[in-house]
Every structure is written in C-alpha cells, then in structure tokens.
Chains A and B, each alone.
Chain A
Amino acid sequence: MRKKSRRGDSQEVNAGSMADIAFLLLIFFLVTTTIASDKGLSILLPPKREDDALNEFKMKDRNVYKVLINSRNQLLVEGDPLSLSKLRKGAKEFIDNKGRDEKLSESPLEAAVSFKTDRGTSYAVYVRVLDEIKAAYNELRAEKLGIALDAYLTFDEKEALKDEKLLRKVQRFSQSVGDNFSVKDYLNFDPIKKGQEGKRKEVEGYQKARASDKELFIERYYDASREYPLRISEAEPTKIGG
C-alpha cells in the first residue's frame, strides 16, 4: 500500500522550471509591448470648402477671440502680443464675459475662438496653444460644476452613462414624452430648440422629468458643456514660412 503511493509521487511533473518558462514569455511580451495611448486633443475640422461659401459664417466681431501664431511662434491675441501662460486666463475672461465688458463676448453661447497659424508655426507650439484654449473651456465647465479641473478631466462619462438611476430616469422620460429616447438623446435634449419646432408636449414632459431635481451629476455635466460649447474654429492658414 505504502509502496504504491510512493510511486504515484514520483510520477509528478517537476514544476521547478515553470518560473523559467514564464519568465521567457514575460520577457517576450515586455519587449513587444507598446501600451496603447490613444489619447490626444480632438477637434472637428470645418466642412469642405466651397468657393462661394467663404463668407457664410458671419459673426459679430466682439464674439470672436482671435488667436494668431506667426512663423516665429509668437502669439498675437486680439491684436496684442500675449505670452502663452496668460492665454488661458484671457480666453476664460473672454468667454465668460456675459456681456459685461463691451470688448469681450456677449455670452458663452455666442463666443468662439478663432485660431490661425502660419505654415511655418511649429507643431509643438500649435498643440500647446490648442491645449490652453481647451483648458480654458474645461476650467469654465469645471467651475460651473463646482469641481476641480483635474476631477473634471478624469470624470468617466462612459461609466456614468451606465448609472441605473440615469437609465430609470430616461425610461420615465421616454414614457412621459411618448417617444423612445436613448440616454445620449436624453442628455442632449434641448427643450428650447425642440420647442421651436412646436413640440410643446415634449418640452413639458422634459421639464417634468428633469427640472424638479438635478441630483445626477452627469446631467449637470452635460448642462455645463451645453452652457460652454466648445467653439474653436481654425481660420485658413497663411502661407508664410512653409
């Protein structure tokens, strides 16, 4: 009896080299790994240019925050030279003016940032300026929400969209309006815009479902981005220094 069991022991495969094998694989993957970094600054390019549509978008001069970078990477903002570190503050003041100062924008909804570079502007500077303008918008939104900029940036929208409370709310909303709304539709719903189309019922249903309480952070999050819409337009570049 005892002999038998001993024989069974000796048949076990030696696992001592397991670590070596694993190490080999590990080193292979360590070497081949590039941790995917699909992060960056997103922008939406203007639509295809048509010859007769050049002057299509006429905006009031005071609502456009003009940022120029020349081929020597110097910044000109609203006609005055400005250092990069002051751009964020300047842009914030401009966007969030709400009609107070006559030289600055009328309202955040109207304000836009026009951003123009030369062909000779270096790409690194371009990215820095774009980053600063985005930071201005994000800071305004974060302030609106009453959180820090870092917290705003790390807020995981995708996770928040799966919130059960939100899903239930959307369901209720869909029922009250008599239409099927997705979560994004619900969050992007603009009662004023829809009201113009004569959808009174929808507006009332919306207001019932939403106006009472704004307990969900994601709703306020969407409200903040609606209040400060990101409007960065890139003007046609000049041909200097290409």
Chain B
Amino acid sequence: MAQFVKKEKPQPSISTASLPDIVFMLLFFFMVTTVLRETDLLVKVSIPPATQLEKIENKSLVSYIYVGPPKDKGQFGDEPRIQVNDVFVTPRDIPRFIAQERAKLDEALRDKIIISMKVDQNKKTKMGIVIDIREQLREVDARKVNYATVRGDDVAEN
C-alpha cells in the first residue's frame, strides 16, 4: 500500500504591507466626502422617498429648514416643530432667518437663495406647518423651495 504522506505546507500568509495604502485610500475618500454638520438637530427628521429627484447645483445658495417632532419629548412635547440654525422657531421668525441667510450671500446671488425643507415623513407631520412656512417664504420672496427627499423605489400603494 502506498502511503500518502501529507506534506506539511507552510501556511501562506497574506502580505499586509499594502494595508496602509488601502486604509489611506478609504481615509481620503471619507475626508473628501465629509461635511461636518454645523447644526445640532433638535428634531427627528426622516426624509421621505421620491423618484424624480433633482440635484441642487449650487450648494452655497442653500439654507435649511428642519421640521419634525422634537427629540426631547419631555421638554418640547411631540408636536412637529420648526428648527433653523440651532433653535426652534415659529413661522413668524422665518423672514428674519431668510434675511440673515441672504446677508451671508453675495449681493448678486441674494435673490437666488434656495430653501431646502427637510421635513419628517412621520404621519404626525401635516401640511399645515409646511404651508405656514411656505406662506412666510412667499412674503419675503424666497420662492425657490426644495423638498429634501431620498431616492426611493416606485412607491405605489392602494
């Protein structure tokens, strides 16, 4: 009987010499794509899905308004609230906010300001609050509005 002797093969080890390179590559990717968030969100915002998305071309023109139920339920309740910068506001404060945001822009670009509305898709968030904001935006002639959405599949119910 022939005997097969298993040769002791040395375990091939993967070279880790290129590991730093790989990690650096990832690092640079994230460094480039990172946008450090300036505002602390006080409201819960989960953005609704849509299919017909448009990209905002010029990011410096964008100002954000957040609408959603407060994260701190005990203090603020759970009715949807409006947040701009770092504070809760009422619709009446919107014109002042827009004026502030406009002041940050170049003079030539001031009437091109875009308002991105990040509104929660929770059932409790009704159009009423959005309409109030919209009316104020019309008052100060900041009429370019973008409802922030994420890319979603064709959602057809009923």
Do A and B form a real pair?
yes
A130→B34 CA distance, assembly (Å): 31
Given A41-B54, A42-B54, A153-B53: A84 and B148 interface contact (C-beta under 8 Å): no
A130→B134 CA distance, assembly (Å): 15
User: Which chain A residues in 37-84 approach chain B with CB under 8 Å?
Assistant: 37-49, 71, 83-84
Residue contact A84 to B151, C-beta cutoff 8 Å: no
A44→B146 CA distance, assembly (Å): 9
Residue contact B50 to A131, C-beta cutoff 8 Å: yes
Residue contact A127 to B50, C-beta cutoff 8 Å: yes
Given A15-B20, A41-B147, A119-B126: A131 and B52 interface contact (C-beta under 8 Å): yes
A63→B64 CA distance, assembly (Å): 35
Residue contact A128 to B128, C-beta cutoff 8 Å: no
B92 in the interface (beta carbon within 8 A): no
Residue contact B53 to A40, C-beta cutoff 8 Å: yes
Residue contact A121 to B127, C-beta cutoff 8 Å: yes
Given A38-B59, A41-B50: A128 and B146 interface contact (C-beta under 8 Å): no
Residue contact B50 to A22, C-beta cutoff 8 Å: no
Please, which residues of chain B bring their CB within 8 A of the CB of A241? 126, 128
Residue contact B130 to A126, C-beta cutoff 8 Å: yes
CB distance from B125 to the nearest CB of A (A): 5
Given A40-B148, A44-B143, A119-B128: A33 and B30 interface contact (C-beta under 8 Å): yes
Please, which residues of chain A bring their CB within 8 A of the CB of B156? 84-85
A124→B62 CA distance, assembly (Å): 22
In this complex, the interface size class of chain B, counting residues with CB under 8 Å from chain A, is 35 or more
Residue contact B134 to A45, C-beta cutoff 8 Å: yes
Please, which residues of chain A bring their CB within 8 A of the CB of B138? 45-49
Choose among B37, B55, B125 the residue that contacts A123 (Cβ–Cβ < 8 A). B125
User: Which chain B residues in 15-35 approach chain A with CB under 8 Å?
Assistant: 16, 19-20, 23-24, 26-27, 30-31, 33-35
B105 in the interface (beta carbon within 8 A): no
Please, which residues of chain A bring their CB within 8 A of the CB of B145? 42-45
Residue contact A128 to B37, C-beta cutoff 8 Å: no
The 5 closest A-B pairs by CB, nearest first: A119-B128, A242-B128, A29-B30, A85-B156, A83-B158
Q: Give me 30 A-to-B residue pairs in the complex whose CB atoms sit less than 8 angstroms apart, sorted by A's number.
A: A18-B20, A19-B23, A22-B23, A22-B24, A26-B27, A30-B30, A33-B30, A35-B35, A37-B47, A38-B62, A38-B116, A38-B148, A40-B148, A40-B149, A42-B114, A44-B144, A45-B145, A46-B143, A47-B143, A83-B158, A84-B158, A117-B127, A120-B127, A122-B125, A123-B120, A123-B130, A124-B48, A127-B147, A128-B50, A130-B50
